[in-house]
Every structure is written in structure tokens, then in C-alpha cells.
Amino acid sequence: MKRFSACCFTSRVSKSHSHSKPNHPQIMMGNVSSPSKSRATNIIINHDFSGGLDSWHPNFCQGYVVSAKSGSQGKMSMVSKSNYAVVTDRKECWQGLEQDITDKISTGSTYEVSACVGVCGLPQGSADVLATLKLEYRDSATSYLFIGRTSAIEASWAKVKGKFSLSTMPDRVVFYLEGPAPGVDLLIQSVEIICSNQNDHNSASTDCDAPGDDNIIINPTFDDGLNNWSGRGCKIALHNSMADGKILPQTGKVFASATERTQSWNGIQQEITGRVQRKLAYEVTALVRIYGNNVTSADVRATLWVQTPDLREQYIGIANVQATDKDWVQMQGKFLLNGSQSKVVVYLEGPPPGTEILVNTLVLKHAAKTPPSTPPDFQNAPFGINVIENSNLADGTKGWFPLGNCTLSVGTGSPHIIPSMARDSLGLHEPLSGRYILVSNRTQTWMGPAQIITDKLKLFLTYQVSAWVRIGSGSSGPQNVNVALGVDDQWVNGGQVEVADDRWHEIGGSFRIEKQPSKVMVYIQGPASGVDLMVAGLQIFPVDRQARFRHLRKQTDKVRKRDVILKFSGLDTSSYLGTLVKVRQTQNNFPIGSCVNRTNIDNEDFVDFFVKHFNWAVFGNELKWYWTEPQQGNFNYKDADDMLALCVKNKIETRGHCIFWDVDGTVQQWIKSLGKDDLMKAVQNRLNGLLTRYKGKFRHYDVNNEMMHGSFYQDRLGKDIRSNMFKTAHQLDPSATLFVNDYHVEDGCDTRSSPEKYIQHVLDLQEQGAPVGGMGIQGHIDSPVGPIVSSALDKLGILGLPIWFTELDVSSTNEYVRADDLEVMMREAFAHPTVEGIMLWGFWELFMSRNDSHLVNAEGDINEAGKRFLALKQEWLSHSHGHVDEQGQFSFRGFHGTYNVEVVTLSKKISKTFVVDQGDSPLVVSVDL
């Protein structure tokens, strides 16, 4: 259930009695679907105010009704086809309009609520309007239950929707509407409450102009010409055909075009201010294509331009598609607005100037909730069973075929042992045969041995890949060898290794298939044409993750726990045996943090989850150079300042991500245009400006992000620039630990950032005097396998530097599989002694860099992955209880962190807080009674 906070709840606390009643009614809340077409009774009397305020009562304020016939009156400028109530002279946000519904409801039934509301006298932005139940009892405190909420703006109707069910019946039940700040008038056009589980029911018409679950776009198919549409920096036109009749609408009779475009951001737009609400997920669907300027294919994007009440501007990408000049294509996407908005515009953009954007339809609706996943059935999964036929080559090359015009033969002399990463997964197993496939006459890099394994794979199972590979002579430099899968028309990476000599090399990787394929082929490829390839002992088998978890729990106990002896004094020996001890851990010392974006902190539900479950933060974009200085000399530190203030307030530590980013595509155009001397000066200014401003504020800095995958600054300024960045950063803020940070270090699928190359990268920097203090592994990983991750950590640990997973996310369409993936990564990190922290790269849907990676759905519901995350955090807290022994001691073994001990003797109760740090010997804590 989501947490909602509003000022009216705070005001209400002081009005409640000091004691509470057990078994209070429970409430179910959330958006409700449109009622069915059969008839039901609205239990609200005078629901449309046709009888004035009959049966309604202003709650310690004033109210009156504006007649539809009289039109707007005074400051009331709302357009309405029917009467509406005005609640005015409001001194508190909880003041509103109420109606007693006690004798109209019963326990066990579910009631759907819908109200059409507005506000008047709002200086700017939006105001929340809430539907609430007041439940009164003769012998205990009055209870207030939230039903629904909407954001309303001046001169526009909005709809509050929700539902409730009572498990026990109070003495009095009052429904009321409340919420806007004091001084703001609350307007109510209609209210309905219907029993949704009646056999024969229907929604009474509310005649509300608010969109509700209907299309928010007005004139979405251009049946009304171009009304409500306009050009964003360009002209728009209406067509029934184009290009001599070759372009016709796919649906309806007409379509629109954005023409005379001189910028990529020019396009067709519609203002939707007041028609979208904060903290609700919306889905956009459009039919688009392009035309003209000899462009046959281009990216078309749907974007929101949002202006907040404090005049902050946001551009939110909500959908994109590769459109062509040949046919209409459908574009789909989702978005959610966290904060209040004073203006919202949706528009299409993207193709190069001169190319027209054609739009047939554009629909924007409240997004339907994704049905919950069902757990895959792994009960009889063939864990550890190799799906490769004739892997040991006892039958020659039977089951294998050459991909391309190469030649397969069998040789002897390969390793007899399975590669180490597979040994860790398989447990007991047979040794390898020592035979290998020799691939010769290779004329293309993709040529190699192959098998069809379509019928041997199960959906949602994670498969580990393992093999020995070697290359023949004749290569010029290191060669990349890859186990690949052709899944229908898609290439899937099963693992890669770089080979630079004539030794056998271990290759390891993993994959998972989540949609039923028609054909799956596995093949080994990579070396240059003319270079022979040798493959031995190829293993592809599903991984038993639960068995790995059992191993990791034991490892975790060794790495993250310590024996503790509580030694008591102050009582005689005879009194100890009756003394009760309760030990409860309040916080684990192991840092677990998350990425946060500036817009997230406008959503109180997001902030509540974040501060409750994370103790570290990293900013997604707001500290990056392209954000803080998008144009030279034009600085924006306000977003980072706001986020840092939230973290400081909630005692959350922060990582500084990042000072520089070495990948060319992430560098601002103004930086790219600088000459060498000016670029060097700009780099120095960036270091001085950022680290001086935030000295002592960020515990870590990623100094130059992704140096294994980019080299912009090194190419322009020479090799020394990288070490100089570290040296200067350390001089400016000696308190910060300086990190390298890169991706695909831990998963075996990228030879550019293998553990061996990452180690050499750090050694090269240290040799130049760079004070590298930590190694960041980003952790954007697919289908993780524990032994592969652990192997990488073992290798990196040789440097003795702290290792953090700095940007961890996992992705699966199935929430249970996603939960398993997350558990794999968190347990591997927590069980490994070199890892000192985990940062998730976000947790809230629509604010993640990858789809299907969130823990909390857009509107605040925790999914299975989120539940698994919370369960792991709870598992990593130690609790113990018992009695003091005759030596005056109480012993337990617990995770490192902060504890509270409560000691109860016959005469008193004593509490004490203590901290369990790392250590090999037992920690002795003295407690004076």
C-alpha cells in the first residue's frame, strides 16, 4: 500500500483522541476502472448540487452553489454545464464539504468513488484535492482514511477517483473532500459513490469535463481539422493524401504534418495543462511517418515540455521510434510527472530539418497497470545438464556443423579440467576428454562450429556458458573470441575473451531467453579470417541459483558477521540468571544506496521509499559536466544543491558522479569546439569549480567515467591528463575517495573491460602518480551468474582497493526472475570481502535507464523484485534474545552495524546502543546494570 502525505493529515493529528481502537476498518485504495453500463444507485444525496447544499455540510468553513444558468460569478470563472459547489473561507487544508453516509454503506462491500473537482484562488501551480472518510467511534479515536487524490489547477476540472471497503462498521461514517491550502477555494461539480460488487450496477453520470481514463488529447485523429494543435517552431498542415496519393491515412480520413522545420526540435504540439495529474502514469500511442528532404529513415520522438510553478523547465522524453518514408509506424511510451506543473505541452520532434513529421493519430491515456508476473516453474529444471550434443567429441563432429565455408575436424591436447567458473557452478562433474574442434579455412570472422539448440532451452532459465578456446598462428595482434547465439534474427552474447597467444583461454558468460523463439543456434566466432579457431568442452547448462545462495549465506557469515560478548556488571551473581536480554540491530554498516534524479524528489512517495531503505545516494545526471555547464559559462548547480540538501537532511551519504566522462558522445559541443589550450583551461576550471564548491560534501568521486570505453580527453590532451585529473581532484578535496568507474567488468561479455584490463588500467594510473582510491563496477548486467561475478571480484581484489557496485541494475520482464537476478548480485557483493558498497541505478519505474528493471511501479506499488530487495535488507539485520549466563555474559554473532540492547531485571529496564565493527576476535561490550 502506498504512503500518502498531505498537510491535512498533519493538521488532523492534533484533533485525534489520545487512544486508538483495535480492529479499525481497512481501506483499499487506487484508481478504479470505468463502471459497467448496467444501473446502480449513487449513495450520495444531491450528488450534482441541483438541490443547493441540501445534505452537504461545510466543515468549519463556508459554502454556496453556483447555478449553471447563472454562469460564472465574481472570481468564479469555471466553465460548467451543471451546478457546482464552492467551499470558501477555508482556514485549514482539511476544511471542505462533507456528507454523512453511515446508513448507506455496509461491511464487506467495495465502494467506488468519483468526484469532479476544481480550485479557485490558487496563485500558481496545482493543488491536491483529496477524498477522505471520517470514521467515528463512541469509545475511541476518530480515524481518517484516504480514498483518492488528484492535482487540480485554476480554471480546470479534475477527477478524484478511488475505492474503499470497511471490515468493521464505525458508529458514524462521513465522506468529505479536502486538500487545497488555506485561502484556496475548493470547487465540486459532482460526487458519486457506488457499490462496485452489486450484481446490477452503473455509474451515474457525473458530467465532468475532466478526462479521467479517457484520451487526454483533444482531436486526436484530426477529425476537427487542426483545432487544439499548433506548430512548435514550424507550420502544421492537414492532408487527406500526399505524394500524388501514395501517402494515405492508415486510420480515419486525414492526417497532419509538421512542415517547414528548420530545427530537429520543431514539430506538432498540443498543450495538455490541467489534463494530466502528478504521480499518475500515462501512456502515449501515435501513428507516425516522415516525408521529404531525401531522408528515408529518422528517429521520431514524443517529448513533454513541463514548466513548474517556480519556472523550472523540464524536457521529458516519453517515446521514440525509427520512422520511415515508406509506411506508418506505431510509437508507444510512458511517463509520470513527479511534481506540480503550471504548463505541460506534448510534442513530436526528431528528424533532421527539412523533413516533415506526419501524424495520423496521437492518443494519451492513463496507463493501465501491468498485470503481475507469475513465477516461472523451475521445479524440474535440469540444473547442471549440458544442452550441447557431443560436447566431448567422442563421436567426432556429430551434432556440429560449420557455419559458413569453413572446415571442422577433431584434434587432441586440450585441457581435461572444466574452466574454474563452470566448476563452481557444476559441483561434481566428469573431466573433459582432451579433444577439441579445429576450425580451419575461415574466410569471415563469424565462421565457426555451430549447433541448433532450440528445443533444449526453457524460457526464463538462466544458462551459463563455459568453454576453452585457442587460436592458431597467423594473427596480427589480439583476437576476440565469442560464444554467440542466434535467437531468430537477434544476436545474443554468450561470453567473450581476448586471445593474444597460443595458450588455451577460459571463456565464460550467460544468457536467458524470455520469449519463445522459433530457432536458436549457438556458434563460436571472432578471430580474423584466416586464423584457425580451436574449441574444447563447450558447456551450456541452466544454473541452480538456490544452491549458490546457500553457499553465499555461509560465506556471508564469515565476512560480514562478528562474535559479540555482552559483559554485565552491577548485579550480584544470583541476580544474573533472571536477567532478560533483547538485542536488536537497527542498521547494517554495509552501504546500500540508489541513483536519484532531481525530478524524483518532488514526489513524496519516492522520497519516502528512498530515505527509508537507502543510506547512500548518487545523482543520475545532475553533477555531470553537461548538466552543470551545458553552455560555456552558463552554470546550473541548483539541481545538485537541492538533491544534496535532501541527502544531508536525511543523513544520506553521497557519491559524486562524475567529474568527467571520457566517452565522446557524452561531451558537450562547446567543449569539443575548444582548442587544446582552451580545453586544458576548461578542464582545470571544471575541477576547481566543482570540487571547491562541494568540498567535503561528496564521499566519493568518479573522476573520469568509463575510460575503458572512451578516450576523448586523452586523445585531445595526451595520456597524462587522466592522472592529472586524479591528482588535482585530490589536492582540491583530500577527503574524497577517488574512483575509476566502468561497465561490463563483471560479466565476461566485453573484452574491452575484462578484469585483467581493468587491473592494468588502474596500475597504469597509479604508476603515473594518480591517487586511485577505489574501483567502481557499474553492474548493468543481464542474466547474472554468481561464479562469473565472483571470479571477476577475486581477480580485482589483487589490487587491495575498495570495490563498489556503483550503478547496479538487472532487467527481466518477469518480476520473479528480476528478483532472482537482483538477489544474485546483492548476495555476491555482500559475501565478497573486497566489496564495500552497492549503489542501485534507480528503483522507480519510468526513472530507470533500462526497461523492466524497477523495484517500485510508477504509481508506488512494490513489485516482486522490490519485495526481494526489502527481504534481503531485513535478512541482513541480526536479532537475539535470552538470559544472562552465570558468568554475567550474553553472547551472539551478528552483522556489523548499530545495535540496541534492552536488559530487563527484576527491578529495572536498561537500554544501551553499541556498534559492531569488523574484527576477527570477539567484540566485548560492557554494560553496567
Q: Which residues are catalytic?
A: 807
C-alpha to C-alpha distance for 189 and 167, rounded to whole angstroms = 30
CB burial string 299-337: b at 16+ within 10 A, e below: ebbbbbbbbbbeebebebebbbbebbbeebbebebebbb
Pairing mode, if any, of strands 520-525 and 235-239? unpaired
Q: Which three cell numbers stand for residue 844?
A: 522507480
Residue type, 311: L
C-alpha to C-alpha distance for 112 and 20, rounded to whole angstroms = 27
If we measure between CA atoms, which residue out of 330, 346, 332, 208 comes closest to residue 276? Answer: 346
If we measure between CA atoms, which residue out of 121, 83, 115 comes closest to residue 99? Answer: 115
φ, ψ at 607 (rounded to 5°): -60, -40
Omega before residue 8 within 30° of 0, cis: no
Contact 316, 341 (CB under 8 A): no
If we measure between CA atoms, which residue out of 587, 592, 585 comes closest to residue 564? Answer: 585
Q: For residue 108, count other CB atoms closer than 10 A to its CB.
A: 9
DSSP string, 720-787: HHHHHHHHHHHHH-TTSEEEEEESSSSSS--GGG-HHHHHHHHHHHHHTT----EEEE--EESS--HH
DSSP string, 592-640: EEEEE-GGGGG-HHHHHHHHHH-SEEEESSTTSHHHH-SBTTB---HHH
C-alpha to C-alpha distance for 69 and 313, rounded to whole angstroms = 40
Task: Give the rounded distance of the alpha carbon of 890 from its chain centre.
Answer: 43
Distances (CA, A) of 436 to 288, 471, 650, 665: 53, 12, 59, 42
Q: Which long-range contacts (CB under 8 A, 24 or more apart) does 621-626 make?
A: 621/597, 622/597, 622/598, 623/656, 623/657, 623/658, 623/690, 624/657, 624/658, 624/661, 624/666, 625/659, 625/660, 625/661, 625/668, 625/671, 625/686, 626/661, 626/666, 626/667, 626/668
If we measure between CA atoms, which residue out of 219, 236, 237, 215 comes closest to residue 228? Answer: 219
The three-class DSSP label of residue 898 is strand
Pairing mode, if any, of strands 479-487 and 520-525? antiparallel
Q: Which long-range contacts (CB under 8 A, 24 or more apart) does 413-416 make?
A: 414/468, 414/470, 414/504, 414/534, 414/536, 414/537, 415/468, 415/504, 415/536, 415/537
C-alpha to C-alpha distance for 211 and 152, rounded to whole angstroms = 12
Q: Give the bridge partners for 595, in sequence order.
A: 618
**Torsional sign, CA 449, 453, 454, 460:** negative
C-alpha to C-alpha distance for 374 and 369, rounded to whole angstroms = 15
Distances (CA, A) of 445 to 404, 451, 470, 496, 528: 10, 17, 15, 14, 5
Residue type, 645: A
Contact 507, 576 (CB under 8 A): no
Residue type, 474: G
Which helix (H) or strand (E) segment holds residue 517: the answer is none
Residue type, 362: L
Contact 807, 778 (CB under 8 A): yes
Which helix (H) or strand (E) segment holds residue 687: the answer is helix 676-693
Residue type, 737: T
